[in-house]
């Protein structure tokens, strides 16, 4: 079984009908292709005999001035002899010649590596033998012609380097066809191909000064050297740098007996998937060509035929055999396979297999089907490598019809590309101002608008709600626009730097294209692409079932599988999943997606609906004045909370007290100030003065969070009253309420104590008035490093912690998320940071503080409830971290709830 020559280190691994030295597990040493060729051989599939030279030789080669271990020559000769024996042919024989291919193969498939050379072993003598033996002279010369061309291109490096360069072989081939008056390569006759071979060899001599090698062994070594040499070529090095593949991995080389798909009409070559990888339907599918070799299928010289359409008719026996092989491979690898095969005179040969890449749709269908077919367990179905949690998104968002998008691309309607912040597809008319969106909506509730802004702010909220999609020129993936869009489940592209927006002129310019208010655009939030005009959409079935109720669950297969998968998810996860929602409608959507509570209700969003009263409160210069305004707000807040409690029906609701600095609510333009002055009866000067007084140089670190409630206790008192009155009222109506009052931005235990006292005092008062008691907790948002460091003392009074990782990241890294867009991409590209810290928790920094806070908090209060409510709560990698440090729940925007559930289950099964 083993190679004939003994060495301490094994360099050469054979595979063939008589057995194999390698297997799939040896991927690091044999490369992906070599390891799987060995594995297929091992499980009894028809694989042409061959051998793999390990990646250890590649490393030796570069460590030893591009030379080989001394024993390699002998090892290769011995392995060749083994192929000869197994295939019953002889390399270089002038009566019964063996031909081989030489194929590169790193651990992961890697564009930039050397291309495969086929038909090695041909020369002017062996070609005659091949012709005689096959009884097909044309075939022999066609193979020879291909070989000389590939050898020249790949081994002797004559392949064109730029688009302008010409491939001398292609030119000669083209001229030959022209002269012969034919269109296809297959129409050239043996004598014409013979002429071509001579011309090719001449071109090689002229182009490289070298003679084409006639000695088969010299040909093999030339090809092997070219594979190892290509590991360090520029393209390969750049590719590895981009994808973080270590240079030490090295490549393997596979030398394998040729099988021929170009011997006649009972021969074919093809590539196939064992299931559909776009939507996941079972059944072998792919491309094939009759009477063709190797790369012809992908080269586009002839249009390939579809396996699922015609192979059963063209080659019934081979189709059946391939189908069975596909099933065997799926059973063995427990995954969908992407295979290469050749049919030689009715006999099927396997040349490659690997796990197939797939869309989110296919990933879900395949995982669920595999469980139902008993190929894998439910827990295996949840593995992150099978369904990357983020890919669930694709099932929830409306999609552009791929055909329509292709058409738009062809018509040159793609305008620009930004950061794909909110997945989804949205087409509509350009609208530059939230107020215009509101006005348009008042006239027509069905308006379809895309809100196009330099950036967005809380004032744009209602306009954003109306818009179908949001497009901004600035800001990163956690900018206001991105954050709110995701919470609303809207398509959103941010940081689209190519947009030149002129609010005054009402234009958006990209290069030489000028678009105006009301012009149609389409944004693809999956890819960040912006199109001019319309692209057709398709709504997601899952949303139709869960939210719109326009589709019955049993009518949607996509939904059925999603539902089944999510059942397994919930059986396996430890973390609870809540949502960030401020409104009953959002809360209901989140529940439909499986949310188990509200982790963050931002009360300030409610104030925007009663902004004038709120502004009056801010502008008041006395306590009495503020109390008058707050009294007006109280019923509205209470009503909003009641709506949320009803929607959540007994599930926990965490309500955060007012957080942003007050000036964010005031108008900054003189015209708006004048208008407000008229409305609330104070002078415009007073407003302007108050705005100036409240101005902050660094609002992120300004008078905000609990600092507001401490200086203006009446605000906390009003909010607490609104919360408890609503809770009592809803509870009296027979609906259970579980409320958690959250104090933001606490750094000192004393801050918490101050606010807690007001909250508890108010609760007691309200319960007395209402003659009913409601369960409640008072806790804090952990979002400054001091709270982490002093977690033990904070937790002496706080009944729960919720990590506000947006602010915790800002305050730990000293990075403002509103200003980091300018350098974060540079940081990412230069490997300064591994991730965008506002998308994925910075585990070493922010994560370390979180661990300190968990330990400190649970020291004071072993059963302390701890969650996370920052944007990170919906990021799979961050969810894994939260699971690992023992949090009780994560909270994220409604549309990310299923993703967080899946990620939580994946974290749980990964640990098993």
Residue numbers of the site for ligand ADP (CB under 6 A)?
A: 48, 101, 103, 116, 118, 256-259, 294-295, 340, 342, 351-352
The full DSSP string for 669-703 is: SHHHHHHHHHHHTS-HHHHHHHHHHH--S-GGGSS
- Between 118 and 824, whose beta carbon lies closer to ligand ADP? 118
Which residue is listed with tokens 């790369």? 295
- Between 476 and 804, whose beta carbon lies closer to Mg ion? 804
In whole angstroms, what is the distance from residue 27 CA to residue 47 CA?
18
What angle, 0 to 180 degrees and rounded to 10, lies between the N-to-C axes of helices 168-180 and 137-150?
150
The nearest distance, CB 284 to ligand ADP, in angstroms, is: 16
Question: C-alpha angle with apex 655: 649 to 659, nearest 5 degrees?
Answer: 160
Distance of CA 835 to the CA centre of its chain: 13
Q: Which of 431, 496, 869, 882 is catalytic?
A: 869
The nearest distance, CB 702 to Mg ion, in angstroms, is: 12
- Between 256 and 729, whose beta carbon lies closer to ligand ADP? 256
Binding of residue 50 to Mg ion (CB under 5 A): no
The nearest distance, CB 148 to ligand ADP, in angstroms, is: 16
- Between 348 and 545, whose beta carbon lies closer to ligand ADP? 348
Q: Which does 256 bind (CB under 5 to 8 A by kind): ligand ADP, Mg ion, none?
A: ligand ADP
**Residues sharing a CB contact under 8 Å with residue 67, sequence separation 6 or more, in sequence order:** 61
Site stretch for Mg ion (CB under 5 A), options 351-359, 638-646, 706-714, 882-890? 351-359
Residue 421: name the closest of 532, 500, 495 by CA: 495
Question: C-alpha angle with apex 231: 50 to 215, nearest 5 degrees?
Answer: 50
The answer to whether the beta carbons of residues 480 and 456 sit under 8 Å apart is yes
- Between 634 and 700, whose beta carbon lies closer to Mg ion? 700
320-349 residues in contact with Mg ion (CB under 5 A) are: 340
Q: Which of 267, 319, 480, 728 is catalytic?
A: 480
Q: Which does 616 bind (CB under 5 to 8 A by kind): Mg ion, ligand ADP, none?
A: none
In whole angstroms, what is the distance from residue 273 CA to residue 109 CA?
17
The nearest distance, CB 337 to Mg ion, in angstroms, is: 13
In whole angstroms, what is the distance from residue 298 CA to residue 302 CA?
9
- Is 790 among the catalytic positions? no
The nearest distance, CB 666 to Mg ion, in angstroms, is: 20
Site stretch for Mg ion (CB under 5 A), options 319-327, 557-565, 638-646, 778-786? 778-786
In whole angstroms, what is the distance from residue 133 CA to residue 509 CA?
68
- Between 258 and 749, whose beta carbon lies closer to ligand ADP? 258
The nearest distance, CB 328 to ligand ADP, in angstroms, is: 19
The full DSSP string for 496-560 is: -TT-EEETTTTEEEETTEEEETT-EEEEETTTTEEEES---EE--HHHIIIII--S-GGG-HHHH
Q: Which does 755 bind (CB under 5 to 8 A by kind): Mg ion, ligand ADP, none?
A: none
The nearest distance, CB 20 to ligand ADP, in angstroms, is: 16
The nearest distance, CB 661 to Mg ion, in angstroms, is: 12
Residue 785: name the closest of 823, 751, 825, 813 by CA: 813
**Residues sharing a CB contact under 8 Å with residue 649, sequence separation 6 or more, in sequence order:** 735, 736
- Between 256 and 762, whose beta carbon lies closer to ligand ADP? 256
Binding of residue 352 to Mg ion (CB under 5 A): yes
The answer to whether the beta carbons of residues 606 and 636 sit under 8 Å apart is yes
In whole angstroms, what is the distance from residue 212 CA to residue 201 CA?
6
CA distances, 871 to each of 297, 477, 619, 834 (Å) = 46, 10, 32, 18
Site stretch for Mg ion (CB under 5 A), options 247-255, 526-534, 758-766, 804-812? 804-812
The nearest distance, CB 812 to Mg ion, in angstroms, is: 13
- Between 342 and 572, whose beta carbon lies closer to ligand ADP? 342
Site stretch for Mg ion (CB under 5 A), options 251-259, 646-654, 779-787, 791-799? 779-787
Binding of residue 804 to Mg ion (CB under 5 A): yes
- Between 351 and 375, whose beta carbon lies closer to ligand ADP? 351
Q: Which does 351 bind (CB under 5 to 8 A by kind): Mg ion, ligand ADP, none?
A: ligand ADP
Eight-class DSSP state of 454: S
In whole angstroms, what is the distance from residue 667 CA to residue 674 CA?
10
Which residues are bridge partners to 16 per DSSP? 19
Residue 701: name the closest of 819, 592, 792, 618 by CA: 819
In whole angstroms, what is the distance from residue 814 CA to residue 823 CA?
14
The nearest distance, CB 258 to ligand ADP, in angstroms, is: 4
- Is 58 among the catalytic positions? no
In whole angstroms, what is the distance from residue 600 CA to residue 398 CA?
26
Tokens of 206: 């002229």
The nearest distance, CB 273 to Mg ion, in angstroms, is: 13
- Between 33 and 576, whose beta carbon lies closer to Mg ion? 33
- Between 295 and 438, whose beta carbon lies closer to Mg ion? 295
- Between 340 and 756, whose beta carbon lies closer to Mg ion? 340
CA distances, 691 to each of 82, 666, 694 (Å) = 87, 7, 5
Q: Which does 90 bind (CB under 5 to 8 A by kind): ligand ADP, Mg ion, none?
A: none
Q: Which does 807 bind (CB under 5 to 8 A by kind): ligand ADP, Mg ion, none?
A: Mg ion
User: Cβ of 246: how many Cβ atoms within 10 Å?
Assistant: 8
Which residues are bridge partners to 343 per DSSP? 268, 348
Tokens of 909: 């099964």
| Total residues binding Mg ion (CB under 5 A) | 5
DSSP strand pairing (520-524 vs 425-431) = antiparallel
- Between 38 and 396, whose beta carbon lies closer to Mg ion? 38
Q: Which does 804 bind (CB under 5 to 8 A by kind): ligand ADP, Mg ion, none?
A: Mg ion
The nearest distance, CB 126 to Mg ion, in angstroms, is: 25
Burial class (CB in 10 A: 0-12, 13-18, 19+), 863: exposed
782-801 residues in contact with Mg ion (CB under 5 A) are: 783
The nearest distance, CB 257 to ligand ADP, in angstroms, is: 6
The answer to whether the beta carbons of residues 90 and 76 sit under 8 Å apart is no
- Give exposure, 374-396, as e/b (b: 16+ Cβ within 10 Å): ebbebbebbbbebbbbbbbbbbb
Residue in the shown chain whose Cβ atom is closest to Mg ion: 807
Interacting residues toward Mg ion by CB under 5 A? 340, 352, 783, 804, 807
Active site positions, annotated: 480, 869
């Amino acid at each position: 079984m083993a190679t004939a020559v003994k060495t301490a280190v094994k360099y050469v691994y054979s595979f063939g009908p008589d057995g194999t030295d390698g297997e799939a597990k040896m991927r690091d040493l044999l490369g992906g292709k070599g390891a799987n060729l060995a594995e297929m051989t091992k499980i009894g599939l028809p694989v042409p005999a061959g051998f793999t030279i390990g990646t250890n030789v590649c490393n030796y080669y570069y460590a030893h001035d591009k030379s080989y271990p001394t024993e390699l020559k002998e090892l290769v000769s011995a392995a060749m002899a083994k192929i000869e024996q197994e295939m019953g042919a002889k390399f270089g024989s002038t009566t019964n010649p063996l031909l081989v291919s030489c194929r590169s193969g790193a651990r992961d498939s890697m564009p930039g590596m050397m291309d495969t050379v086929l038909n090695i072993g041909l020369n002017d003598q062996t070609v005659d033998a091949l012709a005689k033996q096959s009884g097909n002279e044309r075939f022999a010369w066609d193979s020879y012609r291909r070989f000389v061309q590939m050898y020249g291109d790949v081994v002797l490096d004559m392949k064109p380097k730029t688009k302008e360069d010409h491939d001398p072989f292609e030119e000669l081939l083209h001229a030959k066809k022209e002269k012969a008056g034919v269109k296809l390569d297959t129409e050239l006759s043996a004598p014409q191909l013979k002429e071509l071979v001579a011309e090719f060899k001449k071109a090689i001599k002229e182009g490289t000064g070298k003679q084409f090698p006639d000695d088969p062994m010299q040909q093999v070594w030339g090809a092997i050297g070219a594979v190892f040499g290509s590991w360090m070529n520029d393209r390969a090095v750049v590719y590895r740098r981009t994808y973080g593949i270590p240079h030490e991995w090295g490549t393997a080389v596979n030398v394998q007996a040729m099988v021929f798909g170009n011997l006649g009409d009972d021969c074919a070559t093809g590539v196939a998937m064992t299931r559909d990888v776009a939507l996941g339907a079972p059944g072998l599918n792919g491309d094939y060509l009759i009477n063709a070799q190797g790369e012809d299928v992908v080269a586009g010289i002839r249009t390939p035929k579809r396996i699922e359409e015609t192979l059963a008719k063209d080659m019934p026996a081979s189709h059946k055999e391939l189908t069975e092989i596909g099933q065997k491979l799926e059973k063995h690898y427990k995954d969908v396979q992407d295979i290469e095969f050749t049919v030689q005179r009715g006999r099927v040969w396997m040349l490659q297999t690997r796990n197939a890449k797939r869309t989110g749709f296919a990933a879900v269908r395949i995982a669920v089907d595999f469980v139902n077919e008993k190929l894998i367990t439910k827990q295996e179905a949840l593995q992150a490598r099978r369904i990357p949690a983020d890919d669930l998104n694709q099932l929830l968002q409306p999609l552009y019809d791929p055909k329509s998008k292709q058409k738009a691309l062809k018509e040159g309607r793609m305008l620009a590309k930004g950061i794909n912040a909110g997945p989804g597809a949205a087409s509509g008319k350009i609208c530059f101002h939230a107020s215009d969106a509101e006005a348009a909506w008042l006239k027509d509730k069905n308006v379809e608008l895309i809100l196009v802004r330099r950036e967005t702010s809380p004032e744009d909220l209602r306009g954003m709600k109306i818009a179908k999609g949001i497009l901004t020129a600035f800001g990163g993936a956690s900018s206001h626009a991105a954050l709110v869009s995701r919470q609303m489940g809207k398509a959103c592209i941010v940081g689209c730097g190519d947009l030149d927006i002129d609010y005054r002129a009402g234009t958006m310019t990209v290069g030489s294209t000028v678009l105006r208010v009301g012009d149609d655009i389409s944004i693809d939030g999956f890819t960040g692409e912006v199109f001019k005009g319309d692209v057709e959409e398709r709504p997601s079935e899952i949303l139709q079932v869960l939210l719109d109720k326009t589709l019955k669950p049993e009518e949607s297969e996509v939904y059925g599988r999603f539902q089944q998968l999510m059942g397994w998810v919930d059986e396996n996860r430890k973390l609870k999943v809540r949502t960030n929602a401020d409104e009953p409608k959002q809360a209901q959507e989140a529940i439909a997606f499986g949310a188990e509570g509200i982790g963050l209700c931002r009360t300030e969003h409610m104030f925007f609906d009663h902004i004038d009263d709120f502004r009056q409160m801010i502008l008041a210069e006395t306590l009495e004045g503020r109390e008058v305004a707050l009294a007006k707000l109280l019923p509205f807040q209470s009503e909003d909370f009641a709506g949320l409690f009803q929607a959540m029906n007994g599930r926990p609701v965490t309500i955060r007290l007012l957080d942003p600095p007050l000036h964010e609510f005031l108008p900054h333009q003189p015209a708006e100030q004048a208008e407000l002055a008229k409305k609330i009866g104070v002078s415009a000067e007073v407003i302007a003065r108050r705005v100036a007084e409240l101005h902050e140089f660094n609002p992120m670190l300004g008078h905000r969070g609990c600092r507001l409630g401490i200086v203006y206790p009446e605000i906390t008192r009003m909010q607490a009253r609104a919360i408890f009155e609503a809770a009592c009222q809803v509870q009296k109506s027979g609906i259970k309420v579980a409320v958690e009052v959250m104090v933001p931005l606490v750094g000192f235990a004393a801050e918490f104590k101050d606010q807690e006292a007001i909250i508890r005092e108010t609760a007691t008062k309200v319960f007395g008035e209402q003659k009913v008691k409601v369960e409640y907790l008072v806790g804090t948002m952990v979002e400054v490093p001091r709270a982490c460091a002093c977690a033990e003392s904070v937790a002496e009074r706080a009944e729960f912690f919720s990590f506000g990782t947006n602010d915790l990241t800002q305050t730990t890294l000293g990075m403002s998320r509103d200003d980091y867009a300018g350098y974060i991409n540079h940081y990412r590209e230069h490997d300064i940071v591994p991730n965008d810290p506002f998308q994925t928790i910075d585990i070493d920094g922010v994560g370390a503080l979180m661990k300190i806070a968990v330990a400190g908090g649970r020291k004071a209060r072993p059963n302390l409830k701890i969650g996370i409510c920052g944007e990170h709560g919906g990021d799979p990698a961050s969810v894994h971290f939260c699971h690992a440090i023992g949090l009780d729940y994560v909270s994220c925007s409604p549309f990310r709830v299923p993703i967080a559930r899946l990620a939580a289950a994946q974290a749980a099964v990964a640990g098993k």
